[in-house]
Structure 1
């Protein structure tokens, strides 16, 4: 038995401390051959258009690295390397350094030349790039000389780069201080959106969205980051994802006055415009709903799409639409708040005709994908909310008088569409 001091400051004489040498040996050397064999097999079968194989290959490569690393190396990666990379990338984004690196006349540039171009101390730039090179994010071509990678080039896209200053300045303090908040509150899952871990970390009584908007540029950076979050992800309206014709268009009211689709909290209309582009001949009206401040940000929008000011906590003004749609709305809110949103919808739906389409993550019982689990932690620390499991969705929607007809899922479960109807009879 050991009386070694636990990191939280408490002595734990009842816990047997493992042999310290375990931290210096590979985590799972015996599995390395299996991972290599799988990687070789997948690499042979992969193609540029086969996203499923690419994702499986990437996961196999991550498993290989984890097997080869020692626990000490993994700890150093978590505690030193990854936080330092976040710091370096964020600073370089703020400096505009990657744009200079990518737009330079030569393939590679010295850190001193880059520093002069952005007006920074050359020693600072050299140290930042040295670590980013060690992490594989820029290419070291000589002594204090660097060239961009495709990742570096992507950081010149505002939507991609926005996540770094946004998370560094507007979110991650709640992650870093989460253990403090949990200890103070008795390790109970956060549920208050106005006095949760985010408010504790940032010393505010504002909701996270209000806090970001009140502290520029974080509100604008959040909007950019959300655009990147959706980039390249499968779209629910594609035939290989959800059968729009069979489930929505067939059997829809053909009247020009009937509402076909309502996008609730649809921002400036990206999803609705994509839907209209892919399904230009749908019958009836298309309605985009959001707060007035959001709708006023719209610069261009197809004339078929109606703009309607609406707060989704209030009564739904559109009754009997063929479909009501919400994209990444409910994960921002606690179950209590979600019930208020959903009750307004269920009261507006026509039995046997209207559908609710919820475009969100659905965490599987096993083998959840890392993007989804990471987002779940961010939602807990930032919003006191969650990504939900299938069972949690069934409970939440069922309590709102709704029943799940089907859950349509692609790409490792990071995109799902929950198809719902009013729970009256066997309507699905």
Structure 2
């Protein structure tokens, strides 16, 4: 129980008693950092203007730090509690109405009246929603009830992104069996309180199952156990394809030297160069073929049958193969076994089962395991990694792992980490592993 005396700002709960000046809520959070942050912004902006592409993320993070320093705690609370949740719902509504698609087709702004006439929405309602979304940077307001597009507007007209949005956000403010993330996040405080503030360890008992009022774990729920919302599985697969867009790829120059895989690779007709295990629709292998078209050996895409059936097109150089990574790996002695954002879906015990199947298939001194995931640093972690860590916890009772946690898990499976490759402008890393 917490008791707050508004007259003097004292706060008392079962753990601590403190006296807090309530005026702290209406002053900037850290104005003493303003001058230094301004200098950093100028430095990174100049570097970016001079062609240093890696300075973009530094500029972005410093700009966020400036906003955090100058925003009052009260303003921050209202942004989290009012502005962002209402934006989630507004964007979902505009996706349903096709507003993003309409605006993406032209550079000419459109009035709310035009958009309402096209979509059948009530003009006043649509105007209220779009006014807020313009204030949040989703649309560009060019006049009274007139709106144009920006990059975000156009991006949300692309199906892989418009599908990804409802998959995460849909019906975020009530516990219903729609969407796939925010109801679980909303259930996190109550679940943790009920479970003595310990991390969930089983996907059958976690904030996801509580938030969605289901007995089914995340992937079963998405793939057929929620008959009222059969589209969620497809939306999730589109989310996975969109997730990688714009991120540095492990196969690019400056990330990982692919040549070290090509050198010494077997070139026989049946030899396999890469097995993409749990590779979804093949977006990683598609990219690999486009960037490294002359590598020796076969390229195998493995995933569940229902995932592979949903593929609309696939490069002829890629061989799809139905496979459950909990079962025996049928490809023996491949040069590379590749896992992209697979192990973070599972707890440590389950990851050992997945890794054991790959270890049994690997050839000593030849095969490598490449794991493309976040390696959370001890300090200064990126918000993409920390937020995804909590999402993995609430949805799957899993986690993003630190370097120490990765070493412990990999070594327990009979492997060793040769090197962790992380480019400066990436939130993800590539763990290069071999048999110990």
- The interval holding the TM-score normalised by the smaller chain is over 0.9
1:44 aligns with one of 38, 42, 46:
46
Match of 1:115, SS state, is helix
Q: 1:376 to 1:134 in 2, by over 3 A?
A: same
Q: 1:221 to 1:300 in 2, by over 3 A?
A: closer
1:209 aligns with one of 180, 197, 219:
219
- Say yes or no: does 1:223 pair with 2:237: yes
Dislocated runs of 4+, deviation >4 Å: 9-13
RMSD over equivalenced CA pairs, Å: 2.1
Aligned residues: 418
- Say yes or no: does 1:270 pair with 2:271: no
Partner Cα separation in structure 2 for residue 398 and residue 13 of structure 1: 40
Give the match for residue 90 of structure 2: 88
Give the match for residue 376 of structure 1: 389
Say whether the 8 Å CA contact 2:237–2:281 is kept in structure 1.
Answer: no
Q: 1:306 to 1:412 in 2, by over 3 A?
A: same
Say whether the 8 Å CA contact 2:250–2:256 is kept in structure 1.
Answer: yes
Say whether the 8 Å CA contact 1:258–1:321 is kept in structure 2.
Answer: yes
Match of 2:289, SS state, is helix
Partner Cα separation in structure 2 for residue 135 and residue 403 of structure 1: 46
How far does residue 254 in structure 1 lie from its aligned partner after superposition? 2.7
Say whether the 8 Å CA contact 1:266–1:290 is kept in structure 2.
Answer: yes
5 Å-filtered alignment, 1:28-427, equals: 28-47=30-49, 50-103=52-105, 107-169=108-170, 170=179, 171-214=181-224, 215-246=229-260, 248-423=261-436
Say whether the 8 Å CA contact 1:263–1:325 is kept in structure 2.
Answer: yes
Deviations 1:295-337 (A, max 9, x none): 2333433333333221110111112211111111111111111
Say whether the 8 Å CA contact 1:141–1:147 is kept in structure 2.
Answer: yes
Match of 2:200, SS state, is coil
Which blocks of at least 5 consecutive residues in structure 1 are unaligned? 424-428
Segment of structure 1 superposing worse, 155-164 or 221-230 = 155-164
1:18 aligns with one of 13, 17, 20:
20
Deviations 1:258-277 (A, max 9, x none): 22221111223222232223
Deviations 1:154-173 (A, max 9, x none): 21112222232111221211
Say whether the 8 Å CA contact 1:3–1:12 is kept in structure 2.
Answer: no
Match of 2:254, SS state, is coil
How far does residue 48 in structure 1 lie from its aligned partner after superposition? 8.7
Say whether the 8 Å CA contact 1:264–1:312 is kept in structure 2.
Answer: yes
Q: 1:255 to 1:99 in 2, by over 3 A?
A: closer
Deviations 1:124-183 (A, max 9, x none): 111111111222322222222222222212211122222321112212111111101111
- Normalised by the length of structure 2, the TM-score is 0.91
Give the match for residue 175 of structure 2: none
Match of 2:290, SS state, is helix
Say whether the 8 Å CA contact 2:417–2:431 is kept in structure 1.
Answer: yes
Match of 1:162, SS state, is helix
- Normalised by the length of structure 1, the TM-score is 0.92
Partner Cα separation in structure 1 for residue 431 and residue 393 of structure 2: 22
How far does residue 228 in structure 1 lie from its aligned partner after superposition? 1.4
